[in-house]
A and B are shown apart, each in its own frame.
Chain A
Amino acid sequence: MVAAAIEARGLVKYFGEGEARTMAVKDVSFDARFGEMLYVVGPSGSGKTTMLSLVSGILRPNQGGVRIHGTDIWSLSADALAEFRLAHIGFAFQDYHLFPRLTTAENVAVPLVLQKRGWDEALAEAERYLDIVGLKHRAQLPPVKLSGGEQQRVAIARAIVSQPDILIMDEPTASLDGDTGRNILAFVRGEILNDKRCIVIVTHDARISEFADRTLMMEDGALKEIRNGGHRQD
């Protein structure tokens, strides 16, 4: 039996202590499967981003556990967890977080460099992925010379260049106009998603709901509902 891409069980996360304690995530459990595009939606402050951080191994839960590809990630040491993220999880951040002083190709090559791949090899691979996202002709430009949509594509190329099992995207369309946002998601759905990859997307954007296989609806830190398809499908 193939393990689920992500198995989250009983996740609890709070910040602060005593009267100042704030519950951010309350007993959240769900599975995400390979070949699936999973949306996490909810109003601001509903705990989406915190939950995403818990399942992607960058914020330790107070209770509960996360298995990715069968590995209990929170049983790993800090260094082992960093290596695990590098090998299995790709991140595309809301603000892209591309290095403005590196070229586009060098930005995309960063995860490969962290994996200790040779510089020339990493750059060649980065250019191949820039080609996949349609930006090979922009490889030698700094990110600041690119449009928002192009920067998002570069961020996606960087997230997938190490061929991770899990792709985490935080508000990928927040800074983009409607058409560009839809195009990006259509591209991710059509070109990046495959049977060996699971994509988890945190979004507010109802315009892109059609691309989801399932949608987790969060409210006040709790998982209210899991729906098949996009969150506008009722």
Chain B
Amino acid sequence: MNGILRIAYKLLVNDRPKFSALLVGITFAVFLMVQMTSLFSGILARASATVVNVGARVWVMDPAVQTVANSIPLPDYVLDAVRSVDGVRYAVPMYSGGALVRLDDGTYQAVTVIGLDDTTLFGRPEVTRGSIEDIYAEHGFLVVDDAEYHKLGNPDIGAEFELNDNRGVIVGVAHVASSGLFGVPTLYTTFTRAIQYIPSMRYTISYVLVEPKSADAIPRIKQAVSRLGYVALTNDEFVAQISAFYKFQTGLGVNLFLMTVMSFVVGLSISGQTFYSFVLENLEKFGALKAIGAKGAVLVRMILFQAGFTALTGYGLGVGICTLMIAAARLRLPDYAATITWGNLLLAFCMVLVIAGISSYIAVRKVLRIEPFDIFRG
């Protein structure tokens, strides 16, 4: 390490009370920022779980649909019309809806039922126990083994339940990429059985899932669907639409944004104040350094190093503690919806840099203004 930076380092870390206060401030701010944004990312990811798990390239839906959980049934002709659009390789119906199942012990449990196209089973999950073909068996349902699985009493193949007085039988256990947001188990069955078991409105198709012939065909498909009075979204667009709904049309996004801003302000206040008092305490010494012959750039480098070192150490600690907390929470709550993404980390990193920048800016101004003559004068 460069000698002057080593001096800056020793001045900083040897002042244990202030260094600790700085670290606590930044670590706490980073922890809160990462925690809040990770929680939000987790919620957004869970909110789009069905879209991700089914994995259709294009989804056709009513224009008023905002999230995958709140589908508006489509008339059957839409399926036929979409199938006839130039550029569509195939299109299949999908059912998505909520229901109550009655378990062996007589209790009721809310579930999400996904009804897959009978012919193709397009969007089927990965079956880990049993066989996908068994979904065609009488009363056959696949159950998803996710964090909510236990709510159905950890059913194995052959387990039975009632759904609207209809008998249901677990014929397989499946695995999906992402669990849902609402904390209910997921059952897969055929489209026909789904609409037969679950009371539906006049129209029964929740979504039409489209496989285009090529990526170039997607704009044409969208235009054609639009002319029908419906909307076609790619997988990514649907995920983005769901995210936008939770971000901007519920209080969730605003509240988490405010919490993140408050974390930033808390971090800035604690570390800015502490760093300022640290510099004030050493101000005469910095003045003495100037008198001895330290250039302004050297002093600026020292302060930036101190602020940067504190920020990065606090950032590492904050991210580490947040990761541990999320891991610990998942041990107790397997469906704890928090996901640390590169975006979260980058956001927190940028905010920490801003905290370090503002703190050091105030300190640098103070140090550059001190006149060595003031040191002589006492």
Contact = CB atoms under 8 A, between A and B. Distances in A.
B201 to A, nearest CB: 74
* Highest count of chain A CB atoms <10 Å: which of B4, B284, B285, B292: B292
Nearest to B4: A113
B321 to A, nearest CB: 27
B105 to A, nearest CB: 67
A115 to B, nearest CB: 8
B298 A114 contact: yes
Interface string A48-89: 011011001011000000000000000000110011111101
B373 A59 contact: yes
Interface in B278-298: 282, 284-285, 287-298
B18 to A, nearest CB: 10
B3 A97 contact: no
Contacts of B378: 94-95
Interface in B114-142: none
Contacts of B375: 93, 97
A94 B375 CA distance: 9
A113 B3 contact: yes
Given A58-B371, A58-B376, A86-B292, 18 more contacts: A59-B372, A78-B296, A91-B292, A93-B376, A94-B376, A97-B288, A97-B375, A101-B10, A101-B11, A102-B7, A111-B292, A111-B293, A113-B4, A114-B289, A114-B298, A117-B3, A119-B1, A119-B3
Contacts of A53: 372-373, 376
Given A93-B375, A114-B292, A102 B3 contact: no
A119 B4 CA distance: 9
Contact of A87 (B4, B284, B291, B293): B293
A41 B171 CA distance: 103
B285 A99 contact: yes
A49 to B, nearest CB: 5
Nearest to A87: B293
Nearest to A80: B295
Interface in A100-118: 101-102, 106, 109-111, 113-114, 116-118
Interface of A: 49-50, 52-53, 56, 58-59, 78-79, 82-87, 89, 91, 93-95, 97-99, 101-102, 106, 109-111, 113-114, 116-119, 122, 158, 170
Contacts of B297: 79
Nearest to A155: B288
B154 interface: no
Interface of B: 1, 3-4, 6-7, 10-11, 14-15, 282, 284-285, 287-298, 371-373, 375-378
Contacts of A79: 295, 297
B11 A102 contact: yes
A102 B296 CA distance: 21
A73 to B, nearest CB: 12
A14 to B, nearest CB: 14
B291 A114 contact: no
B322 to A, nearest CB: 31
A12 to B, nearest CB: 16
Given A91-B291, A91-B292, A114-B294, A58 B373 contact: yes
Contact of B377 (A49, A78, A86, A116): A49
B15 A101 contact: yes
A45 B50 CA distance: 82
A97 B6 contact: no
A58 B291 CA distance: 6
A111 B6 CA distance: 14
Contacts of B291: 56, 58, 85, 91, 93
Given A49-B377, A58-B373, A106-B10, A97 B285 contact: yes
Contacts of A110: 7, 289, 292
Contacts of A95: 284, 378
A20 B372 CA distance: 23
A106 B7 CA distance: 8
A148 to B, nearest CB: 16
Nearest to A119: B3
A224 B297 CA distance: 40
A58 B372 contact: yes
A155 B157 CA distance: 84
* Highest count of chain A CB atoms <10 Å: which of B3, B295, B371, B378: B3
Nearest to A81: B293
B4 A82 contact: no
The 5 residue pairs across chains A and B that have the minimum distance between CB atoms? A86-B293, A97-B288, A101-B14, A113-B3, A58-B372
* Highest count of chain A CB atoms <10 Å: which of B6, B288, B377: B288
Contacts of A94: 376, 378
Contacts of B3: 109, 113, 116-119, 122
